[in-house]
A and B are shown apart, each in its own frame.
Chain A
Amino acid sequence: MVIRILRNFFSRIFLDIFRKKKDFSLGFYGPPNAGKTSLANRVCKDWTGEEIGKVSKIPHETRGIQFKEKVEIDYKGKKLTLKLIDTPGIATKIDYEDFMKYGLGKKDSQNRAKEATQGVIDSIKWLDDVDAVVVVVDATQNPYSQVNITIVGNLLARKIPVLIVGNKIDLKKADIKRIEAAFPEYDVIGISARFGKNMEEFYESLFSLAKKV
């Protein structure tokens, strides 16, 4: 009897340990130019020494899904292994003429727009394959954009755990309180992916997110 209780106790503990150590797929979602790749790069650089993709001031720089397998996070004695999925920004409109304002030629702009539209389609498809999502929004912009609301609403409908990250808090116009007011039922944190500001809170929140998977 005692042996059986002890055996059950230990097997439960071991099961728990392995369950928590299981890799999970973490998607980075959000509108274009919010800093998804900057944040994914920061995480990858911190724990693998390599970046995941290129960043640019021109919107829709990421036009294909980018992965980094086996990102092992070892933070304050806690461990987590992730498959990191960086997705193209989700938009409801893409105008190639907007890219020309950044100095791209017409042909390049049209190609970029074509790839970007496919990127949006792929990002949405990939919602089927993520275990948890970090929604990255630009903290200097109005958080009530329909793209943000659609992404978060979709994740809620799919019961996918969400962490909302307001990026660019190094900028004067950044307003985290406005994001918290827009998404009162979610964990919201402010960071600067570019300067690595508040990454400690990000990693703490990531471990909390992992517990919900």
Chain B
Amino acid sequence: MVNKLTLSFMPYGEIQKMESAQRIKKILDIILAGKIVILQGKLEAAEETGLIQATMALVGRIKGFRGVEIAVINPESDQALMDKIKMGIAKVLAGNRYALTIVGPASVVKEIKRDPKKIELLLKS
């Protein structure tokens, strides 16, 4: 039974200037404390796999840690061409802040059901 659920909101500005390894460590530190991270924006493709590799390296080494659940909500899929171009320019200038990334410990989050329009966070019970 989940007694306490903590969501930790991380604005994009908090990780913007960090190196990839630092970003991954920051997210994992919060997850290892049993919290769910809601990150404004999206990790780079290589950072996503880096997060998975770092997670796998910890499974079995930290008691009770079984891995993570990750989901990214991207508002771009349904956009018109002009909006996509505007979003592309904004991404180049300010980074991808429009997506939302949710990462939580697998022992707390049972499953993140994701489809392009909604997200469901199913908790362990």
Contacts and interface: CB of A to CB of B under 8 A. Distances in A.
Contacts of B114: 142, 144-146
Interface stretch (A35-43, A48-56, A67-75, A153-161): A153-161
A174 interface: no
Nearest to A153: B45
Given A142-B113, A144-B114, A149-B72, A91 B67 contact: yes
A41 to B, nearest CB: 25
Contacts, number: 74
The prevalent SS among residues of B at the interface is mixed
Nearest to B74: A149
Interface stretch (A1-9, A92-100, A195-203): A92-100
Main secondary structure of the interface of A (DSSP, over half): helix
B56 A146 contact: no
B112 interface: yes
Nearest to A149: B72
Interface in A77-130: 90-96, 110, 113-114, 117-118, 120-121, 124-125, 127
Nearest to A97: B66
A150 interface: yes
Contacts of A150: 45, 48-49, 52, 70
A205 B9 CA distance: 44
A117 B59 contact: yes
A92 B55 contact: yes
Closest 4 CB pairs of A and B: A93-B67, A93-B106, A157-B45, A117-B56
Interface of B: 44-46, 48-49, 52-53, 55-57, 59-60, 66-72, 106, 112-116
22 contacts: A90-B52, A92-B67, A92-B70, A93-B68, A94-B56, A95-B106, A114-B60, A117-B60, A120-B52, A121-B53, A124-B52, A124-B53, A144-B115, A146-B70, A146-B112, A146-B114, A150-B48, A150-B49, A153-B48, A154-B45, A154-B48, A158-B45
Given A120-B53, A144-B116, A157-B46, 4 more contacts: A90-B52, A118-B56, A121-B57, A124-B52
